[in-house]
Amino acid sequence: MRNKLVAGNWKMHGNLKENAALLEALISNMPKPGNNADYAVCAPFPYLASVQVALQGTCINWGAQNISQYEKGAYTGEVSADMLNDFGCRYVIVGHSERRMLFGETSQIVAEKYAAAQRAGLIPILCVGETLEQRDSDITEQVIDEQLKAVIALTGIESLAKAVIAYEPVWAIGTGKTATPQQAQDIHQFIRKGIASQDKGIAERISILYGGSVKANNAMELFVMPDIDGGLIGGASLVAEDFVAICSAIKS
């Protein structure tokens, strides 16, 4: 059975007080993992230390939302993989569409960040997805293919054995518009088939998450699709009750 994961992406939200309350509610109410399910929250850098203290020894993992492609040196404002390891991160999101679009991260840079994460033993959650314009132009598969190929060209197909992919249609992120379960399934299947053409075993084992306005009331219909192995959750991960409900949907 494939591993399942629900990961919250807090983005640039929260503060010490709000985070403490959110984590306390998650710790008290999260369903026990099992059924190959894992849960995580990806917090802003300054809060990783307090998240680590709060979550150590619980069933919830944690990670970061970005990483430098460089190991160390004169890179003002950057955060390295080793630094994330110092704070016990298990996961790091790479290639989120907000990083690609607002901060100019190309597929090559994303691939380098993915490689940096893996060199340090972190699990990259590699985001791929198309804009509305690209979907309307019928080039969704081409876009995703290019995003994946950049990573595979740099790190090899075998690197996907230690990674998670998140399909996040840009038009569904933070918009309240969710891909239909069938739309999401079609792209997840496309991704899995593409990987299978190079390595069947890795394709069968890799977790592919869906992200884009997943809420408590639509999580289940997405998670029952055969190639959807969980979710990357933005807005709803900031509300304990909603995030717990989404995590419960992956477990059942």
**Active site amino acids:** 96, 168
Does residue 100 sit in helix, strand or coil?
A: helix
H helix or E strand, kind and range, residue 208: strand 207-211
CA dihedral 128, 132, 138, 140 (to 10 degrees): 0
- Nearest alpha carbon to residue 206 among 169, 151, 142: 151
Which residues, numbered 229-248, are part of the site for ligand PEP (CB under 6 A)? 232-236
230/220 Cα distance (integer angstroms): 10
174/233 Cα distance (integer angstroms): 10
Nearer to ligand PEP, 63 or 234 (CB): 234
- Applying CB under 6 A, which of residues 213, 229, 242, 246 lies at the interface with ligand PEP? 213
Cβ 199 vs Cβ 157: under 8 Å: yes
Verify binding: residue 147, ligand PEP, rule CB under 6 A. Answer: no
C-beta neighbour count of 249 within 10 angstroms: 22
**Binding segment for ligand PEP among 48-56, 81-89, 191-199, 206-214 (CB under 6 A)?**
206-214
- The residue whose Cβ lies closest to ligand PEP is 234
C-beta neighbour count of 199 within 10 angstroms: 17
Nearer to ligand PEP, 77 or 176 (CB): 176
Amino acid symbol at 172: A
Nearer to ligand PEP, 87 or 167 (CB): 167
Verify binding: residue 211, ligand PEP, rule CB under 6 A. Answer: yes
71/94 Cα distance (integer angstroms): 16
Q: Are strands 60-64 and 37-42 parallel, antiparallel or unpaired?
A: parallel
- Applying CB under 6 A, which of residues 142, 174, 193, 201 lies at the interface with ligand PEP? 174
Q: Closest distance between ligand PEP and the C-beta of residue 210, in Å? A: 9
Q: Closest distance between ligand PEP and the C-beta of residue 243, in Å? A: 11
- Applying CB under 6 A, which of residues 173, 187, 203, 216 lies at the interface with ligand PEP? 173
Verify binding: residue 212, ligand PEP, rule CB under 6 A. Answer: yes
Nearer to ligand PEP, 164 or 233 (CB): 233
- Interface positions with ligand PEP (CB under 6 A): 9, 168, 173-174, 211-214, 232-236
